[in-house]
Chain A
Amino acid sequence: MSGGGPRRDDLLTDVLRRARARGATEADGFLIEEQHFSAAVRLGQVDTVKHSREQRLSLRVFAGKASAAASTSDLSRASLERVVDEATALARVTAEDPHAGLPDPGELIDGMPDLDLEEADAEDLTPEAKIEVARRAEAAALASDPRITNSEGAEYWDRRARYVYATSHGFARGYATTAFGLSVSPVASADGEMQRDYWHTAARHRGALEDPLAVGRTAARRALRRLGARKVKTTEVPVIFDPDTAASLVRSVAGAASGPSLYRRASFLLDRLGTRVAAPSVRIVDDGVLPRALGSRPFDGEGLATRPTVVIGEGVLQSYLLDSYSARKLGLRSTHHASRDGAGVGVATTNLMLEAGPTPPEELIRSVKSGLYVTELIGFGVNGVTGDYSRGAAGQWIDNGELAYPVEEVTVAGNLLQMLAAIEGIGNDLVLRDRTVAPTLLIGRMVVAGN
């Protein structure tokens, strides 16, 4: 993969040079350029078509041990000069921090791995052809059952992006990515009740997308199985999370394992490195170098080479997720998880997964006499400081090992540490179809609140 067009790289280098001239002791910057297209159809008709071109330069400057950040989407000379001046001015009013600074230049990525993140040569489809993809997916949902009576639509999207990272020490590297996606949201109705659900596919290469007809049919099946949903009596039972909802648990774990939550003492995983935090069968890995994967990237937001990290292995917390700053604060080393956003540097996962277990999901369901199979979670009831967990849920009631009837308007509650420890079954159905994925998970006991 090449370093990309010289003009933009030069722009970044110029900005960093100006920062040095303005008194910054060191600086780094990230430049993102994006092209985005999306087409939404609804009930067979085109609904919204969007085209966009975006760019953003973000800059971090250090004045000794004090730092500040700035960003702009205006890449005119005047605006860039202003951004540099403002950032260096801000750095002079912020407090010194002994842990601030760029990574050691010697640690920055050397060779670039070929992760095949860009579909560079493929001929672009016409907007009409893209609209047709969405139309076919929605039509498949609408045609799959007479109870699919309405639709929130289907959307096809694609995105091309280029990233360049540079430091005032002379480092500069870039890479390009593509991404393609398709989603469908049908509405099922019967006896005055309406239920919506959703299915999507996304990939770095267009050819890796799931078949539009299959996406539509899956979305329809998910909406249909919610019809006739009822509330259940408040009870404490085994709860099975389907792969999508299980992935949300993994995201919560990653949030608590990330540097900024830890050094702020706002994490239920604080002081637990090297200790058991989950059932022994649980292994959670973040791997940013998987070819073609949606979360892959050759280097992180500070130019450090991406690599696999075992967060939890055999139930033991083996690594936090750190950028250089949070690593220094915690007396550890960066795990190469820095992310750039406008506000500076944070921590982000790449391809995060709870690894598959041995059990087919049907078998996990069969093992439950009476319990809840969760297919949707809503709300924000996760306390990252304590791990206390309480969210709205919908799914299916399990009666004698069978999915018996749909359930809605209930909550599932517990504490994430207790939930991780109570994982009694792990499905063999892991599919890397998103940035964060998990197989079906069986948790021994949780409180389901309803009537």
Chain B
Amino acid sequence: MDDLAPTSPERFFSDRFDVTPTLMERLLGGELARRVDDADIYLEYRVNEELVLEENVVKKASRHVSQGAGVRAQAETRTGYAHTDEISLSNLEEAARQARAIADRATASAVVAVPGRGRAHDLYTLAEPPIVTALARKLELLRKVDAAARAADPRVSQVIASLSSEEIVMLIATASGWTIGDVRPLTRLNVTVIAEENGKREIGSWGGGGRVAFDYFLEAERWTRFAAEATRQAVLKLRAVEAPAGTMTVVLGPGWPGILLHEAIGHGLEGDFNRKGVSAFAGRLGQKVASELVTVVDDGTIPNRRGSLNMDDEGTPTGRTVLIENGVLTAYMQDRLNARLMKMTPTGNGRRESYAHPPMPRMTNTFMLAGQDDPDEIIRSVPSGLYAVAFGGGQVDITSGKFVFSASEAYLIEDGRVTAPVKGATLIGNGPDALRRVSRVGHDLALDEGVGTCGKDGQSVPVGVGLPTIRLDGMTVGGTQM
């Protein structure tokens, strides 16, 4: 596509909108940064393409462009934020005026020191970003996915396959006096299957992707596996039994079940909730909050992952933050504001959904490190319980610490063997308590396929999770079978 020819973010915004780093820095230095503790100007241009196949044909195709600028000024705990979707000098000046109005009474001028110029990482430079790949190739892939899912089982009645491709060009000028940009590709292939038998219907879903080229889906026949998994899950659920209700031992499989970490502890370790003292984890740094088998990391630097970033949306390089080490709480995830107010270091977790939103501390890729145990042996160790391998969404109440996540593929464990599949069940627990219940950790750490989207305060960002097989003792399972 001509509008996204490879270029630097600096060139992109100066060619298209006549907004140069020099101009942004002047605006910051003059109008904005005086008498504030921190300020930035964020420019974004995003193109998104969505192709959907249903009923054997691609009937839905859409392409969306969004662009805009967000200007932020901060003083002490106060933030002024203004954004506009017409990127022009006069609009930026107006936005700066509005943003600064809030910060006029700043007393300090303690801009957080940031590491030197230049991008710290190069995690997803692609020869051919997915947004520019020819439509014909994408449509062909969707048709093949459809055929594969239908061929996998005669009970398949519907296949919905979608391919989304996105590219974000962003540029940020910070009050520290430097400007840095990034180009972020993202793609995801998703397959949803409805299977029917004797009047019963069930749904199965599988997908994946990341900051990768279109060819990623063709490598190792990934698309075949996505189609097969979605079909297998839908068909399996046709014979699922009622899920049990009550407290029991739960074994989580590797990969996406890492959503447990995201909900049970991840959000609770975001800097804003802890600065405000509203997280169940507030004031617990250095304390034991999990079994000593548990080490949890948030790592935004894994190449090509959905949750990875070269730098966060405040220009801070992403990093690898050990949140829990051998059961002890070691760090919070920080953006610039909360790091400054808590006298900590920004960890590269300041993220925003788009130019229309101010950044907040958010997760990147959050996972538990592998342990020693053989996964099969972990299952054999359970006389009676639940084995959950795939999940839908989850949610947490930060303050009380209560979290839930919903299993989309789970089985009973009877006498150390995996037996009948069960219908969707919700697992519920208490964040500061749940990871104390980890009694076994497998050696099979896997990251998820690249499907996660995290919502907080109305803002959605792509994230990753990961987990080895683990055993949790005494979890509450919300089924209907007593």
Contacts and interface: CB of A to CB of B under 8 A. Distances in A.
Partners in one complex: yes
Interface of A: 42, 45-56, 66-75, 79, 82-83, 86-87, 90-91, 93-95, 97, 100, 127, 150-152, 187, 193-196, 226, 229, 231, 234-236, 264-266, 270, 342-344, 376, 378-381, 383, 385-386, 388, 390-392, 394, 408-415, 447, 449-451
B62 A68 contact: yes
A378 to B, nearest CB: 4
Nearest to A342: B64
Interface of B: 3, 48, 50, 54, 57-68, 77-86, 95, 98-99, 101-102, 135-136, 139, 157-158, 160, 192, 194, 196, 200-203, 243, 245-247, 276-278, 280, 356, 358, 392-400, 402-406, 423-426, 428-430, 476-482
Given A379-B405, A381-B404, A449-B246, A194 B61 contact: no
Given A68-B62, A90-B63, A152-B276, A54 B85 contact: yes
B62 A70 contact: yes
B277 A73 contact: no
5 contacts: A194-B400, A266-B158, A343-B60, A381-B392, A391-B478
A417 to B, nearest CB: 13
Nearest to B74: A48
B404 A391 contact: yes
Contact of B61 (A55, A68, A72, A187): A68
Given A94-B60, A390-B243, A196 B426 contact: no
Given A69-B62, A194-B400, A379 B482 contact: no
Task: Specify the main secondary structure of chain A where it touches its partner.
Answer: strand
A151 B278 CA distance: 7
A140 B122 CA distance: 50
Contacts of B54: 264
Contacts of A451: 246-247, 476
A55 B478 CA distance: 44
Task: Specify the main secondary structure of chain B where it touches its partner.
Answer: strand
Contacts, number: 271
A376 to B, nearest CB: 8
B76 to A, nearest CB: 8
Contact of B77 (A47, A74, A95, A383): A47
A412 B192 CA distance: 27
Nearest to A236: B482
B478 A413 contact: yes
A413 B158 contact: no
Given A49-B81, A196-B398, A379-B405, A83 B65 contact: yes
Top 7 A-B pairs ranked by shortest CB distance? A411-B478, A95-B57, A392-B404, A379-B404, A380-B393, A196-B399, A449-B245
A390 B400 contact: no
B139 A93 contact: yes
Contact of B278 (A70, A196, A231, A388): A196
Nearest to A229: B400
Contact of A51 (B66, B82, B158, B405): B82
Contacts of B58: 93-95
Contacts of A46: 78, 102
